[in-house]
Amino acid sequence: AWLLLFRTVHRTSSTLRTQADENERLALHDALTGLPNRRLLQDRLDRAIIAGQRANKHVGLMILDVVRFKEVNDTLGHDRGDALLIEVAKRLENVVREADTVARLGGDEFAVLAPDIGSTLDAERLAARVHSAFDEAFQVGDLLLHVESSIGIAMLPEHAEDATELMQRADTAMYAAKSTHLGALLYRPGEDGNSAERLQL
């Protein structure tokens, strides 16, 4: 009887632990693409900044969105839009370095965290690689879709002092890239006014 009870408790405990692990994974990952979500990105960003400050290293952050994604969603339907986002996620993971984190922030917005990046030039080179991941058309069901990305790049300590500021500045640079159709842009201090205006709107 004791052996039976022990086995039952062990089995139940194992099931609960597996369920708890799965719940934690779901809480930290995007349900559609399986990528880290905003919460997990924030945690990795905080850790990268602490490590970078200790070792006097740079941290890069890119925020990108898929140009004309709303058009794809509206004209072809959400199923095709979702399939496109899954393909985008795969391509992004294939072009970044092993130490980098690709995350989905929501909608058609993604982020790439590059801890220990050598310089702003290295960050721009990585952004160019990310941007080139969109050169080839995406196979979505029976369709070939051509979409591009707008990428904003910000660096710590060059452009920001903390995680919140780094996110804001990468976001600002992304909107600048979007409005100028330049693909990928490094943050420039003069762009902050536009960011405040957008926030007010």
Active-site residue, selected from the candidate residues 65, 100, 108, 171: 108
Contacts 24+ apart (CB under 8 A), 68-73: 68/147, 68/148, 69/107, 69/108, 69/147, 70/108, 72/145, 72/147
Contact 130, 96 (CB under 8 A): yes
Distance set, CA 14 to CA 9, 18, 20, 97, 131 (Å): 8, 6, 10, 35, 44
Q: Collapsing DSSP states into helix, strand and coil, what is residue 181?
A: coil
Token pair, residue 140, equals 């979505």
Question: CA-to-CA distance for 164 and 159, rounded, in angstroms?
Answer: 12
Q: Annotated catalytic, 108?
A: yes
| DSSP 8-state code for residue 29 | B
Question: CA-to-CA distance for 45 and 175, rounded, in angstroms?
Answer: 21
Catalytic residue IDs: 108
